[in-house]
Structures are given as structure tokens and as C-alpha cells.
Amino acid sequence: MIISVVGAGIIGLTAALTLADRGHTVTVHDPAPASGASHHAGGMLAPTAEVVYKQDPLFPLMRASAEWYPDLIALTAKYTDLPTGYRTDGTLVVARDTADKTHLEELRDYQSRHGMEVDKLTVRQARKLEPALSPALAGAVAIGGDHQVQPRLFTRALIDACRSANVTFSPNRIESLDALDGDQVVVANGLGASQLVAGLDLRPVYGDVLHVRVPQHQYPLLTRVVRGFVEDRPVYLIPREDGTLTIGASTREDGRDQPQVQGIHQLMRDAIELVPALEECDFIEATAGARPGTPDDLPYLGRIDDRTVVSTGYFRHGILLAALGARCGAELVEKHTPAIDLSACDPRRHT
């Protein structure tokens, strides 16, 4: 089949690679590949730590995508030697004070009730795993199944892999689906999809993110993802193999696309509360990206007509859900029944 994919963020790129690997002729259209949310994301693959109360329809999607991630990484490695930053060292979640500890324990009960594996640790045990953690913490849990990729590396590798798999890149900004060639079209242009498909209710949910470099004498400051609650505010630190750390992320719907001083200040302060030696790191960059949010926080993934599949609205989980989006997106394009029930993701549900 001849297939046009609109958008070269993580969702469009993984869909394109999967479809090309299945023998289709694929063109990806994007004037600025990998410049959207995927450029700013932390890259945590966190089906357990990202659990939010009462979002039950999301859990099986996140779990399935986490299970399929090694296949997506292997598919990428089949076509490129470039690194993806995929790491399976697990995640610690820590609590700054006793109220945060209560929150952590309630969340752990909720996660356990949904069949997720979360191990309670003493602060001493957590500090044995990560000596840079503050001794003043109130509690900790370990989540072995929450992993990470480095999104900027991963999208660069995906572009290279797509080229090796004979995917064509076109620098066109698509203004109308009618203008596209192809037997099938995949609409995967993040927030821009609502301009192409009527009835998609997408909104930008901004997040500020920081990047620092760990000085040589402290490297590696952390060896796994550390997430935490500080006075009930969430913050995370993601160590990378290149010696940098990503710190994120605020959540705001103020329409401001530049990193905000208040958000950056708060993130930095909270992260230092958890890992005091962060103060000695080199500051590299502050950025802000827009998560493509939907009214119910579930993606839009499904067929809307005989020629068009929509795959967007992945909100705060698009890096994790890319494995699901790519596999089920390809199944939808080929008009097969998707490997998992996608009825909660119907792109027409808010029309």
C-alpha cells in the first residue's frame, strides 16, 4: 500500500517505521520533524508511576505499550545503529515529608490494587541504591518496571531508521487531507491534527523542563529515574548516559510557549530538596513543550473513514504509548483488528 503519514513526532515516526517494515511504501510529511512535544519530553516509560486516579481505561494501554517497547527498540535497531537512550534500570519514587509519604502510600495501595508491582523501601535502602538522595526524605518505593528512553536521541534514531527502511520525508506542511497521495493516510501531527480532522478536541498542556550536566567528580549522580513529591508537587530527575540529567516538569495551560521563570524555579528547588548535590551541576538548558491533551486524557487512535486513521492526543504519555500507537496504528491501516481493545480511544467520541 502507499501510505502518507502526517507528522514526524514520535508517533508519526514509529508508525512510519512499522508500516515500512511491513512492506508498505511510506511518505512522512513534516516541515520540522521531531520539533514538537517529542523534542521536549522527559522520556519516562512509566506505566506504574504515571498512574492517575480514576483513569482506569488508560492502564491497559500503558501496560501493553510498555510490554511492546522492547520490540519497538529492536525494530529501530534493525535499521540504525544510532542510540535511543533506552534504559531499564527502574525508577525510585520518594516523598519529601510525612504528608508526601502518606500520598506515596495511598498511591502504592492504588497501584497494587491494579496489579502493579511497587516495592516499599526504607529511606536507608533507597539511599543505598542512590546515595545522592537527601537523608531528610520521609519515604520511598521502587518500581522495577518503569524505564526510559532519551526522546531526542530516539527520534533522531527513528528518522535514520525510517530512511534506511526507504521511508520518504517530505517538508510539506499539510493543510488538507484531500491534498495527500496514498491509499491510506495516518494523521499523527500532534496538536495540529485538530486543524485537519473536525471534532478532535486537542489542547496544549505546557510543561517546563531543565537540563543540567553532572560534573565529572560527581558522575553518575543518579543511576535510575528518581521521581518525587515535594509538598505534593511532582518532580522527576532522569539520568542520561551522556552525563546529563533532565528535570521536569511543570503542568500549565496558560498558552505561554516559553519556559516560565516560576516553573523553572520551582522545579529546581524541588529537585534540590530530593538531590542536594544538584546544586553543583552545570546548567545547560530550559525548554517548554506542549503536551497534546484531550478532554479525558485518552488518545485519539482509530479509523475515521475508509482512507484515514487518526493517532494523536497522547497527552503526557506519548513516548510510552508510541509502541502501542505504532503497532495498533499499523493494524488499523491494514484493516486488521487491533491487538488491544481501542474503543476508549475512538477519535469520534467528542464530536
Among 320, 323, 333, 345, binds ligand FAD (CB under 6 A): 320
CB 217 to ligand FAD: min, Å: 28
Per CB under 6 A, which region of 1-9, 51-59, 84-92, 258-266 contacts ligand FAD? 1-9
Q: What contacts 308, CB < 8 A, 6 or more positions away?
A: 177, 184, 185, 187, 197
CB 111 to ligand FAD: min, Å: 17
Distance between CA atoms of 301 and 46, rounded to whole angstroms? Answer: 20
Does 302 engage in binding with ligand FAD (CB under 6 A)? no
Does 64 engage in binding with ligand FAD (CB under 6 A)? no
Give whichever of 20 and 123 is closer to ligand FAD, judged by the CB atom.
Answer: 20
Does 318 engage in binding with ligand FAD (CB under 6 A)? yes
SS3 13: helix
Does 11 engage in binding with ligand FAD (CB under 6 A)? yes
Distance between CA atoms of 169 and 162, rounded to whole angstroms? Answer: 9
User: What does residue 300 show for φ and ψ, rounded to 5 degrees?
Assistant: -100, 105
Q: What contacts 4, CB < 8 A, 6 or more positions away?
A: 26, 27, 29, 180, 181, 182, 184, 185, 186
Among 104, 200, 209, 235, binds ligand FAD (CB under 6 A): 209
Residues composing the chain: 351
Q: How far is the CA of 182 from the CAs of 192, 308, 333, 338, in angstroms?
A: 20, 10, 12, 22
Positions in 32-51 near ligand FAD (CB under 6 A) = 32-38, 40-44
DSSP 102: H
- How many of the other CB atoms lie within 10 Å of CB of 258? 10
Does 326 engage in binding with ligand FAD (CB under 6 A)? no
Q: What contacts 207, CB < 8 A, 6 or more positions away?
A: 40, 248, 249, 250, 251, 252, 288, 289, 290, 291, 316
Give whichever of 11 and 140 is closer to ligand FAD, judged by the CB atom.
Answer: 11
For residue 144, what is its C-alpha cell?
A: 522495577
Give whichever of 29 and 240 is closer to ligand FAD, judged by the CB atom.
Answer: 29
SS3 223: coil
Binding mask 149-188 for ligand FAD (x = CB under 6 A): ------------------------xx-------------x
Give whichever of 58 and 320 is closer to ligand FAD, judged by the CB atom.
Answer: 320
Among 24, 29, 63, 152, binds ligand FAD (CB under 6 A): 29
The continuous run of DSSP H or E covering 225 comes out as: strand 225-230
The continuous run of DSSP H or E covering 330 comes out as: helix 318-333
Among 3, 4, 9, 16, binds ligand FAD (CB under 6 A): 9
CB 256 to ligand FAD: min, Å: 13
Give whichever of 66 and 141 is closer to ligand FAD, judged by the CB atom.
Answer: 66
CB 249 to ligand FAD: min, Å: 4
Under rule CB under 6 A, how many of the chain's residues touch ligand FAD? 43
Question: How far from the centroid of its chain's Cα atoms is residue 31's Cα?
Answer: 22
Among 47, 139, 145, 192, binds ligand FAD (CB under 6 A): 192
Point out which residues bind ligand FAD (CB under 6 A). Answer: 6-12, 29-30, 32-38, 40-44, 173-174, 188-190, 192, 207, 209, 248-249, 289-292, 312, 314-320
